[in-house]
Amino acid sequence: MSSDLLQRGKHIKLAIFDVDGVLTDGRLYFLEDGSEFKTFNTLDGQGIKMLIAAGVQTAIISGRKTPVVERRAQNLGIAHLYQGREDKLVVLDELLGQLNLSYEQVAYLGDDLPDLPVIRRVGLGMAVANAATFVREHAHGITTARGGEGAAREFCELILRAQGRLEAAHAAYL
């Protein structure tokens, strides 16, 4: 892990996640009745819970809208959920105004072009390992794990490590 990423992670007060391709593997599953389902990784969920317990606020910004994501956000305790919002930078600015935070205090994990404006603007903008090439080229860092396969956990632990809180987060389970 680079010292630049750790330096960027020190001041993070808000971690934002995309959903499809980040908290999931990016595949969309549609049933005959038109409903859809997604699969989420429990390691990612635990990472988000550890961030929240350490005092880092969390948010989801997704271009798609589905009740499954709302349920997952509630289960994890994610306080800020924005779905069906294509212009993620507009949402970021709304959220920063609401929380009185600066761009430098935000970390974002994404995978595709709609995430790129936010990745480039925030203090710690990261891409998952299987993100679109152009997005990986412009991110501050890239996870070793793929979206839906532990990338969010890796991102969460990077922030906790940068803030000297990872050992305490782990020790809480001993």
* Low pLDDT (below 70) residues in the chain: 1
- Which of 112, 105, 124, 127 has its CA nearest to residue 63? 112
Please write the tens of the pLDDT for every residue from 27-66. Answer: 988 889 988 889 999 999 999 999 999 999 999 999 999 9
pTM for the predicted model, two decimal places: 0.96
Q: What is the pLDDT of residue 4?
A: 95
Look at strands 14-17 and 106-110 and give their pairing. parallel
pLDDT for residue 22: 98
Looking at residue 163, its amino acid is Q
